[in-house]
Structure 1
Amino acid sequence: MPEFYRNVIYKNLRILHLILLLVFCSLSAQKAIPLDTLKLKEAKDMLADDYGSLYIYKNKDFSFTKYDSLGKQIGKMMFTVPFKVQGVQNPLSVPLFSENAQELKYVDQNMNEIQRVDFKQKFGFIKMAYAEDLQQLWLLDESTKRLIQYNFRNETTINSYPFDASFDDLTDLLVYENKIYILTRKQIRVYTFKFEKIFEAAIENGKRFRRENETILVITNNSVLKYVPEKEMVKIFGDPEAQIVDKNTLSYFEIKANKLYLYDLEKNEEAKLQTEPDQPDLKQKVTEQDVEQSAEKPAQPDSPEGKLEKKTQEIEDENSAESSLQKLIEDSSEIQSVGV
């Protein structure tokens, strides 16, 4: 068989191999976590820390429950008013804010309260609070339209900035590197401390921010978005059928049909790398020879070579596993009979 035809057949076999590899890797990246579906039913939110522990918040009874990676309950809190969980990246000190109670709590790894900050006596009406660390808070005071930097350890106001933005439908607040990030269910907005808007983008069902070093992420109902500074929001994970999604350092999590699934980030990266395997020397030489020949004498559209190249391109564009080796050989034989 001429080298040209062998090269075409090799290309299509490689495409078929990559398709099967992608399917296998995508399936192997997903893993079901054995958590009782009754525990996931009616969950309003879910968070995962870097130790694999899961936190389920239910708005029905205002309960906040922590489970280990095997589904065993570690601790549980019951509230009388709704609370918003900021994040669980530090499981030793998890901040929870209640707009109704006008207070912020910290709980430890066993869900025991270790700190409470009451805003009622010192401020007007706090719409949202962001715990920067274990002593400083950023507070959006709706009554005075100000952003306040507050040290709750010594009960002192460090800074106060005029902030006459809309507080409607606010879901989260984040302050980082002299930038103020405001999240609503429909938008993300980024401001300077001079109240200058430097970025705005539409978002569906925005829930909360997550910061990983210098990267700012937005968690929505069924996706994880990455903020490209002052440019755009990029979806890095999503499932339209998911009820709730979250992310830790190593994995994505989702609740779908009251079942919990994990997507390993490392396996996803391996899948991407495996889709670009090294080329054998023979294939590389044949390809370079074809390029040189094509540069000297392009194939005419009506010539047998042109028809074969067109047919090959159609097969590659379809990118389908149904393109078999036998079909390609039959097409090659048909063109040969025309005049090759």
Structure 2
Amino acid sequence: MKLLHLIFALLFCSVTAQKTLPFDTLKLKDAKDMLVDDYGNLYIYKNKEFSFTKYDSLGRQLGKMMLTVPYKVQTVQNPLSVPLFSENAQEMKFVDQNLNEIQRVDFRQKFGFIKMAYAEDLQQIWLLDDSTKRLIQYNFRNDNTINSYPFDASFDDLMDLLVYENKVYILTRNHIRVFTLKFEKIFEAPVENGKRFRRENETILVITNNSVLQYIPEKEMVKIFDDPDVQIVDKNVLSYFEIKANNLYLYSLEKARGTTPENEPEPLQKATEKDVEKSAEKPAEASSQEQKLEQKTQEIESKNPAESSLRKLMDESSEVQAAGV
């Protein structure tokens, strides 16, 4: 019976444990930021030496840039065109899948002081001009200003900017604020150590130092991943990634959600009486299945003790697991 409990423990641990990726800890040391594209490639930015390096999931280097001033990497969701903005250099550059520069946009000749830039696509950039207090929609392909909106928001401690469906998302280190293009605030919430936005179709996410938050439009921020001991966290469409003690860990989306059930949004409908009855029946069913398994094990041992091997017990435990224990 002790062996049986050990098998169940091993099965449970194999389902819930995170996966450690074989990544050289020296490559992760001193990392200021980490981003992951949807192909599983990692991008490590080190502010100490102003380097931006791309690796595959096994830690093999695919490209590297040495920068002269700090740059903010906006997103790597399209690895063929990765945008980087520098407030110091007053420019935005785009790099390809090998981190070779393919485009550079200089803001100094045409605008005042750009505090933050957001590349909406391969043609348009949204700019927050701190000198004129305006939000500017700029087509850099044609060198043409499309629209300009008065936007006298506080730019102190600004971390990121996102414009989507005529809404302006402002992220500071301690707050998220959502405005209309007419500078009407429609949402505000506190955020701890905010870093950047991530948009997945219609879903707006906020990446912080050790968590991922989801914006519920005009209602609340919901924490969908959290690890207080982590150094850096990011996600792609399949998994969450984190750097902890210079090691790289991966969590699948479903398993990670199971680690923080208290942070998931509450259901819209209350449980019905039938649901309560079904939930009450589950412990009884589980107990009955466990008794059947124990009885089956005893029968095998009584017939031939030599046959009660680990493999047979694993087969029996798999049947019980399939039955819903």
TM-score (norm 2): 0.76
* Number of matched pairs: 264
Find the partner of 1:161 among 130, 134, 149: 149
**Residue number among 16, 26, 36 corresponding to 2:16 in the alignment:** 26
RMSD, aligned α-carbons = 2.8
Confirm or deny: 8 A CA contact 1:252 1:262 kept in the other structure.
Answer: yes
Would you say the 8 A contact 2:224–2:257 is kept in 1? Answer: no
Q: Deviations over 1:195-252 (max 9, x none)?
A: 0000000000000000000000000000000000000000000100000000000000
Determine the structure 1 residue equivalent to 2:234: 246
Contact 1:250 1:266 in 2 (8 A): no
Please tell me whether the aligned partners of residues 240 and 256 of structure 2 are also in contact (alpha carbons under 8 angstroms). no
TM-score if structure 1 supplies the norm length?
0.73
Q: Which residue does the alignment assign to 1:210?
A: 198
Uncovered stretches (5+) of structure 1, i.e. residues with no partner:
1-16, 273-283, 292-311, 313-324, 326-340
Which amino acid letter does the alignment assign opposite residue 86 of structure 2?
A: S
* 3-state secondary structure, aligned to 2:16: helix
In structure 2, distance between residues paired with 1:182 and 1:151: 21
Match 1:98 to one of 59, 76, 86: 86
Aligned twin of 1:198? 186
For 1:173, give the aligned amino acid: L
CA–CA distance in 2 between the matches of 1:66 and 1:123? 32
Q: 124, 134, 140: which is aligned to 1:152? A: 140
Query: Does residue 136 of the first structure (1) align with residue 124 of the second (2)?
Result: yes
CA distance in 2, matches of 1:269, 1:230: 23
- 2:64 maps to amino acid: K
Name whichever of 259-268 and 103-112 sits farther off. Answer: 259-268
Measure, in 2, the Cα distance between the counterparts of 1:268 and 1:58.
27
Write the distance in 1 (CA, Å) between the matches of 2:255 and 2:155: 41
Residue identity opposite 1:250 in structure 2: L
Structure 2 gaps, min length 5: 1-6, 261-273, 284-293, 295-325
Report the counterpart of residue 74 of structure 2 in structure 1.
86
SS state at 1:82 partner: coil
Q: Distance in 1 between matches of 2:176 and 2:213?
A: 11
Secondary structure of residue in 1 paired with 2:132: coil
Query: Whole-Å Cα distance in 1 between the matches of residues 22 and 198 of structure 2?
Result: 26
Shift in Å, 1:25: 2.4
CA, structure 1 residues 233+270, in 2 after alignment: closer, same or farther (shift >3 Å)? closer
CA pair 37-20 structure 1, distance change in 2 beyond 3 A? closer
The 3-state SS of whatever aligns with 2:161 is strand
Aligned equivalents of 1:18, 1:136: Cα separation in 2: 55
Distance in 2 between the 1:57 and 1:271 partners? 28
> How far did residue 83 of structure 1 move?
0.1
Change (3 A) 1:153 1:41: same
CA gap of 1:270–1:237, structure 2 versus 1, over 3 A, is: closer
Larger relative contact order (C-alpha < 8 A, sep ≥ 6)?
1
Residue 49 of structure 2 corresponds to: 61
CA contact (8 A) 2:240 2:251 kept: yes
Identity %: 78
- Which of these two proteins has the greater Rg computed from alpha carbons? 1
- Greater than 4 Å deviation, 4+ residue runs: 17-24, 266-272
Name the residue aligned to 1:110.
98
The 3 A distance-change label for structure 1 pair 125 and 18 is farther
Distance 1:146 1:36 in 2: 45
Contact persistence 1:22–1:271 (CA under 8 A): no
C-alpha displacement of 1:69: 1.2
2:87 is the counterpart of 1:75:
no
Counterpart CA distance in 1 for 2:32 and 2:68 is 16
CA distance in 2, matches of 1:53, 1:24: 25
1:235–1:125 Cα change, 3 Å: same
Q: How far, CA to CA, are the matches of 2:175 and 2:51 in structure 1?
A: 28
1:156, distance to aligned residue in structure 2 (A): 0.4
Alignment-mate amino acid for residue 260 of structure 1? L
SS for the counterpart of 2:131 is: coil
How far is 1:18 from its partner? 10
Q: One-letter code of the match for 2:74?
A: Q
User: Is residue 220 from structure 1 mapped to residue 208 from structure 2 by the alignment?
Assistant: yes
Contact 2:225 2:256 in 1 (8 A): no
CA distance in 2, matches of 1:154, 1:232: 39
